[in-house]
Each structure stands twice: as structure tokens, then as C-alpha cells.
Amino acid sequence: MTSAPPARPATPPDTAEDRQYLVDTLDATLTYARDRDYTGWDYGDGMSSRLLQRLPVDNKWVNAAVQEGIKRSPVNVRPLFRVERRRNYKGTALFTMANLGAAELAERGMLDPDPYAYRAEARDLADWLVEHRIRGHAGFCGGHRHSIQWRDRVGTPQDPDVVSTVYAVKALLAAADELEEPRYEEAVRSAADFIYEDLAYHEVDDTARIKYVPAHGTDNYTLNAVALGAVLLLELHERFDEERHLERARKLLDYVVSRQEPVGGWRYRDPPDSSHLSMDNHHNGFVVESLLRYRTLVGDDRYADALDSGLDFYREQLFEPDGAPNWDERKAYPRDTHAAAQGIIVFSKTGELDRARRVLSWTLAHLHAGDGRFYFRQDRYYTRRFTLMRWCQAWMSYATATYLLAPDSPEPTPR
């Protein structure tokens, strides 16, 4: 494994030489993270500021000002505010899957050294996910591991959330298969109870909803989180053949599909006025990927129309022809690394490899530092030239591995 930065490709990576460039980029990205023990700054970690923690008062407006100021700054002010670096739980899950992907590429002779080095990394990360799950809840769960100022309360490092939990479950089930470790499978079996009990699964008019975190109220629901919760149940149904998981996953997806906008996209929350976000890029990618996963695991056409229109909206409104990710249906900027990574994943899974290559090519040309790092965002007049370990490194390593392992002749994309 080497961190030597390869040169950027001038054309979309569709030749053997350019494909090898992507393999080298994946290796450099993982090496950068491994050399730092997968620790770093995160997107919403401003309340980890040691300066904020030393203030003699605890005020939500001060908390929000520091948190949002750090998040939105055009330069990385985290060192100035003495924000703690740490491992992110979801990021660790993504790095687990990226290392498993690298191991498979090494088996094919495309990476040095042998695949056991990447498998050993994946095993260590998977063990960490099991060890650092959040306890005291009905089932297996995880969270971001830093405080967050919500509108009505402060979320603590011990607050689990559905999205972090979903990716941990995906990573541990993949590790159970690839590393032949049934203990990972058993560790996540109870995650359904976290969905049903802690996230207050409840049925309304033949659909169902869940909360994003246990402490949230029930006045609004995060649509992509509901969709991902359904995927968790689908994965557990596939693994353990519990019929109730499939039935309840369908009800959750029925709710999400019922909130699809006429243009094909999804607002961030229901009701829409409960969030400043509109139909933003990577959250729509989560919903589309969730419907794709339903089709793969279940195999029926229950959501074919929603998936068809959702993919059309995602392709045409949230990406430019050259692969640049738009922020949402109204704004191009900021162009975000996480959005680009999610696009690479979605288009790889739909078999639109030319489109995935375009997103990869744009990202490498505009957001790649060339030394194993990816920059955070490109704004209209400047680029935020710093990296966030989960948001940039973990997502791009997982996305690159997903593209490189995509079948050459995938099943047709729904139209």
C-alpha cells in the first residue's frame, strides 16, 4: 500500500491505464486515512471545540453560532477553535467497506501487497464498530460520537441515529461474508429492535414512519433516513428471513414514495417547511439507492415508477453533463464531495458506468488534492481546500471501490 500520488487523468477513466489510476487513487486515499488511524474532523463537529467547552455559560445560540460558523467557514477554522479529531462511526463503516473492496481488487492483482493487508484493516475496523456501538438501547446502534446543537436540545456523543446504524450494519454484514466472521452478523441482528422501539416505528394510513434519532419529536420526519431504515430491515430480512422485516420495510418505503414530488425528487423532511434544505443532491441519492436496493433484494416492481422518475430527476437535475454535482434542484453551488461520491455509487449500481466515470473525472479534476486527500467543496468563486475524514475521505474511498467493482455488464437501468 502506497500513498504516492498519481497524476490526474485528463479524460474520463475508461481505459485500462485510467482504471489503474483509480486503483492507485483508492490506495492513496485509504493510506492517508490509515496513517491517521482513521481520525479527523467531521462536518458538524463544531461543538467539540475546546474553546466553546471552556465558556462559563451553556447557551444554545452560542452553541449554534460556533457549530454553524465552523461548518460554513470558507477555510478550516477547526484548528483555531481547537476542535477535537476523532473517528466517526459512519465513516468507520465506510472505510470498512472500502478496505474490503480494496482486498478484492488486490485478489485480482490490481493492488499491492496481497489482499490480507486490506482484510486485516477491515477486520480491525469492523471490530471497532462492534466495540463502539452505543449501548443502553433496544438493539444494535451507533452515532456520530460528537455533540450537536439541534433546534430544541443538545445531542450528545451517546445519541444513536438511524443513518450511522444502517451503514454499520451494511459494513458488518459485508465483513461477516468476506472475512467469514459470523459474530459480526450476530452483533447486528438486534438492529431491527432499535428501529422498532427506539426510533418509534409506527404505522399511519398503511404506511410507516421512524424518527432520525430517538430523542427527536414526531412533528417532522427525515425522508432519506426513513428510506435507509427500510434498507436496514431489508438487509436483516435477507439475512435472517424474518417476514415482519420485509412487511415493515415496505410500509416505510411506501411512506417515502408517497412524499415524492411531481418532478421526481424528495424534500429533505416532511413537512418540507421543517428544514432549510430542499431536494438536495446526496440525500436524494440515498433515497434512490434505497429503492434500488429494494429491487435487488426483493425483485418486484412495487416502486418501479417512483424509481424511474427519481432516477430521471437525479440524473438530469442534480448533475451537470460533465459530471459536476449540483447542490439541489435550484442551485449549482456548492459542489460537494459527498454528493459526488453518492452519485458515483448510484450510477455504478444502475449500470450507468459512463455517467459514473464522468462524476469521478470531474471530482478528480476539481476536488482531488493529489496526495490521498479530497477537498470538501467547490463554491462559485473558491474551493474549500481542506478535507473531512468521513465526508471526503471515507465517502470517496467507498465510492471509488464501488465503481471499480461494478460489473461490466450490469442489469439494465429502469427507464
Q: For 222, phi and psi rounded to 5 degrees?
A: -90, 110
Q: Over 90: is that where the pLDDT of 13 sits? A: no
| Residue at 78 is within a domain | no
Q: Over 80: is that where the pLDDT of 42 sits? A: yes
| Residue at 340 is within a domain | yes
Tell me, what's the pLDDT at 113?
65
Q: Over 80: is that where the pLDDT of 6 sits? A: no
| Residue at 376 is within a domain | yes
| Residue at 279 is within a domain | no
| Residue at 391 is within a domain | yes
Tell me, what's the pLDDT at 149?
87
| Residue at 263 is within a domain | no
Q: Over 70: is that where the pLDDT of 10 sits? A: no
Q: How far apart are CA 161 and CA 133, in angstroms?
A: 11
Tell me, what's the pLDDT at 17?
75
Average pLDDT over every residue of 55-62: 89
Reported as type and span, the H/E element at residue 378 is strand 377-378
Q: Over 80: is that where the pLDDT of 136 sits? A: yes
pLDDT in tens, 216-225: 889 999 999 9
Which pLDDT band, with edges at 50, 70 and 90, does 14 fall under? low
CA nearest neighbour of 168 among 197, 152, 145: 145
Using a pLDDT cut of 90, give the percent of the chain over it: 83
Q: In terms of residue numbers, what domain contains 356?
A: 1-35+329-415
Burial of 242 (0-12, 13-18, 19+ CB in 10 A): middle
Please report the DSSP string for 14-66 in residue order: -SHHHHHHHHHHHHHHHHHHHHTTT-B--TT-GGGBHHHHTSS---HHHHHHH
Say how many domains are in the chain. 1
pLDDT in tens, 182-198: 999 999 999 999 999 99
Which pLDDT band, with edges at 50, 70 and 90, does 177 fall under? very high
Are the C-beta atoms of 269 and 275 separated by less than 8 Å?
Answer: yes
Q: How far apart are CA 178 and CA 164, in angstroms?
A: 21
| Residue at 273 is within a domain | no
What is the DSSP-derived secondary structure letter of residue 7? Answer: P
Average pLDDT over every residue of 283-299: 97
What is the DSSP-derived secondary structure letter of residue 321? Answer: T
Q: Over 60: is that where the pLDDT of 125 sits? A: yes
pLDDT in tens, 227-281: 999 999 999 999 999 999 999 999 999 999 999 999 999 999 999 999 999 999 9
Which pLDDT band, with edges at 50, 70 and 90, does 114 fall under? confident
Tell me, what's the pLDDT at 356?
96
Whole-number average pLDDT of the chain: 92
Q: Over 90: is that where the pLDDT of 148 sits? A: no
Dihedral of the alpha carbons of 349, 350, 355, 356, in degrees to the nearest 10: 0
Using a pLDDT cut of 70, give the percent of the chain over it: 94
Q: How far apart are CA 301 and CA 340, in angstroms?
A: 28
| Residue at 9 is within a domain | yes
Tell me, what's the pLDDT at 189?
97
Lowest mean pLDDT among 110-114, 137-141, 332-336, 398-402: 110-114
